[in-house]
């Protein structure tokens, strides 16, 4: 038997995987609310006769296959959706207004369920344990961290981990990733500039937070351009600004939101510190008060182990063809898979879902985001092949 067999087997259950994916797609749930999603996953595992530990991280679970002992390899999928109203032209469009699987986590969950089914068929050949991690709250809730803290990587100890993410820049049938840092360390940012509102015709009687907010925004742009080593990478983006509502009224405050990114925690922390200092000092110079916070979780960078990426690459080339394997540059997107790779060597791989003919060209988090479902069997086969090959390597 060759690794290619896994792809043949995955293609045989293409419809089954697609049905699951579409069902997940129709009922998207936001972070830590993945109740129905988790139920569907558990019901499918029950039907396959696969045992799992539940609940973990509120709605998450870890299924296990094999002999319950080492060596142990984990495969991971995230389950949460986004607060986006779907505009994609598909028959299985989201049935929940304002919620959508716009980051493909429905595909990730379905591909891993496909792997569960194939692995169950050959459970006798599993030399050790394969854990299937179905986690909540990737989109800012650090579900991966909570799963890790609740023991997803323990008993038996996971020695390698593998995860997939659909990638609309890559054509279907191809995959890509890189050794080392693949995805960024990231943090969210919220800021309120408080002045004193009043008549816009008499600015001297007000303390204008609008002009101060404008200064802060432009000044923050000098952190990356003037302070960061040009060979390091960083992003400071103010993505939302709200203040005032009339032509002739200076508002009392302006609220801003944004994000800070870097390829290492050191640089991320430095950027955060400088955003704080610059914003505070500008506000103070202009008699405003400033409140600034980095709410939620600072995701660490996702770092791929070179050996794991080699394994994934070779398998992908064997399943499909070498021409379909891309070495990608690092990306400033963040991903909580990082919490697993902080602890065990692993690999996060992009799987192509782009298909111009199908109109599957929109980016992640776009209301018209669409995937070419022909990618699903390849993802399932990669999961299975990565687990089986890694268990043999680790023996």
- Location of structure tokens 């179905």: 134
Minimal distance in Å, beta carbon 99 to Ni ion? 15
- Location of structure tokens 């995937």: 371
- Location of structure tokens 């891309």: 326
- What is the dihedral angle through the alpha carbons of 103, 107, 110, 115, rounded to the nearest 10 degrees? -110
**Based on CB atoms, which residue is closest to Ni ion, 16 or 32?**
32
Minimal distance in Å, beta carbon 290 to Ni ion? 32
**Based on CB atoms, which residue is closest to Ni ion, 208 or 336?**
336
| Cα–Cα distance, 191 to 279 (Å, whole number) | 9
Buried b (16+ CB within 10 A) or exposed e, 325-345: bbeeebbbbbbbbbbbbbebb
Q: Which two tokens stand for residue 72?
A: 């142990």
| Cα–Cα distance, 368 to 357 (Å, whole number) | 15
User: Which residues lie near Ni ion (CB under 5 A)?
Assistant: 103
**Based on CB atoms, which residue is closest to Ni ion, 78 or 208?**
78
CB atoms within 10 A of CB 277: 12
**Any residues with CB less than 8 A from the CB of 91 and at least 6 apart, and which?**
none
3-state secondary structure at position 249: strand
| Cα–Cα distance, 140 to 365 (Å, whole number) | 13
Minimal distance in Å, beta carbon 260 to Ni ion? 19
**Based on CB atoms, which residue is closest to Ni ion, 79 or 153?**
79
Residue nearest to Ni ion (CB): 103
Minimal distance in Å, beta carbon 293 to Ni ion? 24
Minimal distance in Å, beta carbon 333 to Ni ion? 8
Cα 192 to chain centroid, rounded: 28
**Based on CB atoms, which residue is closest to Ni ion, 105 or 194?**
105
**Based on CB atoms, which residue is closest to Ni ion, 183 or 210?**
183
| Cα–Cα distance, 18 to 15 (Å, whole number) | 5
**Based on CB atoms, which residue is closest to Ni ion, 103 or 376?**
103
The Cα-based distances of 137 to 7, 32, 111, 116, 383 in angstroms read: 29, 6, 18, 21, 21
**Based on CB atoms, which residue is closest to Ni ion, 79 or 303?**
79
Minimal distance in Å, beta carbon 103 to Ni ion? 3
Minimal distance in Å, beta carbon 328 to Ni ion? 16
Minimal distance in Å, beta carbon 165 to Ni ion? 6
- Location of structure tokens 């991903």: 335
């Amino acid at each position: 038997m060759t690794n290619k067999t896994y792809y043949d087997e995955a293609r045989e259950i293409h419809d089954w995987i697609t049905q699951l994916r579409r069902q997940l797609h129709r009922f998207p749930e936001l972070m830590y609310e993945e109740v129905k999603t988790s139920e569907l996953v558990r019901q499918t595992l029950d039907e396959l006769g696969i045992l799992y530990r539940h609940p973990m991280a509120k709605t998450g679970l870890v299924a296990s296959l094999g002999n319950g002992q080492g060596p142990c390899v984990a495969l991971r999928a995230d389950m949460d959706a986004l607060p986006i109203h779907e505009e994609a032209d598909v028959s299985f469009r989201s049935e929940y207004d304002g919620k959508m699987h716009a980051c493909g986590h429905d595909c990730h969950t379905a591909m891993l369920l496909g792997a569960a089914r194939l692995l169950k068929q050959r459970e006798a050949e599993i030399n050790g344990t394969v854990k299937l991690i179905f986690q909540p709250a990737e989109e800012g809730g650090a579900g991966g961290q909570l799963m890790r803290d609740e023991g997803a990587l323990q008993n038996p100890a996971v020695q390698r981990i593998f995860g997939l993410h659909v990638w609309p820049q890559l054509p279907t049938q191809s995959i890509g990733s890189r050794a080392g840092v693949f995805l960024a360390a990231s943090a969210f940012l919220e800021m309120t500039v408080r002045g004193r509102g009043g008549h816009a015709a008499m600015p001297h009687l007000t303390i204008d937070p609008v002009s101060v907010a404008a200064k802060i925004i432009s000044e923050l742009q000098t952190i990356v351009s003037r302070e960061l080593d040009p060979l390091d990478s960083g992003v400071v983006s103010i993505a939302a600004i709200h203040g005032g509502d009339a032509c002739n009224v200076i508002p009392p405050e302006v609220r801003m939101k944004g994000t800070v990114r870097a390829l290492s925690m050191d640089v991320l922390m430095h950027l955060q510190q400088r955003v704080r200092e610059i914003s505070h000092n500008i506000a103070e110079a202009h008699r405003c008060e400033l409140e600034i916070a980095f709410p939620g979780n600072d995701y660490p960078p996702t770092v791929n182990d070179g050996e794991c990426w080699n394994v994934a690459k070779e398998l992908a080339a064997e399943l499909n063809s070498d021409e379909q394997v891309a070495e990608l540059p690092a990306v400033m997107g963040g991903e909580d898979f990082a919490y697993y790779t902080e602890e065990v060597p692993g690999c996060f791989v992009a799987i192509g879902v782009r298909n111009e003919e199908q109109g599957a060209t929109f980016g992640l988090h776009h209301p018209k985001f669409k995937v070419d479902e022909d990618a699903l069997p390849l993802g399932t086969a990669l999961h299975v092949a990565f687990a089986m090959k890694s268990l043999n390597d680790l023996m």
